[in-house]
Structure formats: structure tokens, C-alpha cells
Amino acid sequence: MQTQRSALLVGATGLVGDELLTRILQSDLYTDLQVISRKPLTTTHAKLKTHVQSFDQLDHLSKQSPAVFEVDDVFCCLGTTLKTAGSKQAFEAVDYGYVVALARACEQQGASRFFLVSAVGANPKSNNFYSQVKGRAEVAVSKLSFSAVYWIRPSLLLGEREEHRSGEAWAQRLAPIFSPLLAGPLRQLRPVSATDVANHIMDLAAVEAPGQHITYPSRN
């Protein structure tokens, strides 16, 4: 893909979003980057414009400042956990409600590609609430008129988070032991670093591939 593009990143303060922010700013593929964030970023760059906004006000922002959503590519790294959210309803508001609101706002302003960081096991018919919500978000985005949609489904993410998640901390310590045991079809369950996920997304962005794509980033 030779044409330089514009991008919107949401979820830039998260594990994958932070890594992706750096790579988009460094990439010659993008001339400018809009970021919607709950809090100010410490990063500054000539092609970066940050909009501090609560995610439950995305509809309001799209009406007041539609130019924020007038981009070629959208990178959605929104996500939380049931524990952090505090309830199933609050979790669904983030991982489904905010994601779909973002996608619809971008579709209305003519965005062409949508990259959604989802999760391994995402399935709208899953008995697991987390996986079900992730799957429903994927389905909702797939019904919009983007020329290309990417569902990036990492397994356990490796990296240093601002918030402490005790379960993930233990899993990260054990990852070097059990990862080699996950071979063949189970390879997609291997823990993967946020750095590798961000690199994987940028590799996808560099190639023009219309349609809908499910991808599983793996460790390098």
C-alpha cells in the first residue's frame, strides 16, 4: 500500500494501544493520527492530535467534531475485564457499546478500514460471557460498510499494565513453561506480547486486503 493515510486510534493508554500509538506515529504509512482518550497522553508528535473525551460521549463528539472520525483507518483497542468493570453491564458497555458506537461514527464519516483488537475465543454464541460479548461486537462491526474489517484475536497479553491484575501476573510468569506445549491448532492460545500484537496489526495495515479477516497474532 503506497498511498499515505490518516488514522484514528481509540484505547491508546492500554497495553496494545500504547504500543500501537508509537508504531503509527513512526510509520510512513500515516500522515496524521487522531486519538480519543479518557485522559491526556504524555506523548507528543507533529502528526498527533489528542481528544480527551469520555467514551460514553462518542456520539456527542461525532456530532460536534465529525472531522475526528473522517479518517481512512480506525484502530480500536478498547477493552476491560469483568473485575475492573465491576459488573457484566459495565463490561458490556465498554467491550460492546463503546466499540460499536465508535464503528458507527467512523462509518458515517467514510472510514474505510476498521481494526478491532478482540480476543481469542470470541463467539456470540459462547457460554462464556466475556467471549460472547467480544463475539457480538465483532458481528456488529461486520455489518457496517467498511471496505475491510480485521478482528485481531490475541490470547493472554504479555506486558506491563498500569493496573495490577493478579491472575495475569501469575500467567505471565508461567507463560515460558506452558507456551511450548501449545502446538498445532492450540498455537493460537499461546500468550503474546503487546509489542507483537502491535507489530502484527501494522503488518496488516500495510497491505490492501478488502473483506473481513480473523487473525491470531503470535509471538516472534
CA distance 120 to 201: 15
The single residue of 30, 96, 98, 134 carrying the catalytic annotation is: 134
Segments in the chain below pLDDT 50: 161, 164, 166-167, 169-172, 174-175, 177-183, 186
Q: Where are the domains of the chain?
A: 5-165+192-215
DSSP characters over 128-165? SHHHHHHHHHHHHHHTS--SEEEEE--SSEES--SS--
Q: Which fold would CATH assign to domain 5-165+192-215?
A: Rossmann fold (3.40.50)
Tell me whether residue 134 is one of the annotated catalytic residues: yes
CA distance 209 to 98: 26
Classified as helix, coil or strand, 115 is strand
The single residue of 130, 143, 150, 216 carrying the catalytic annotation is: 130
pLDDT in tens, 112-159: 999 999 999 999 999 999 999 999 999 999 999 999 999 999 988 885
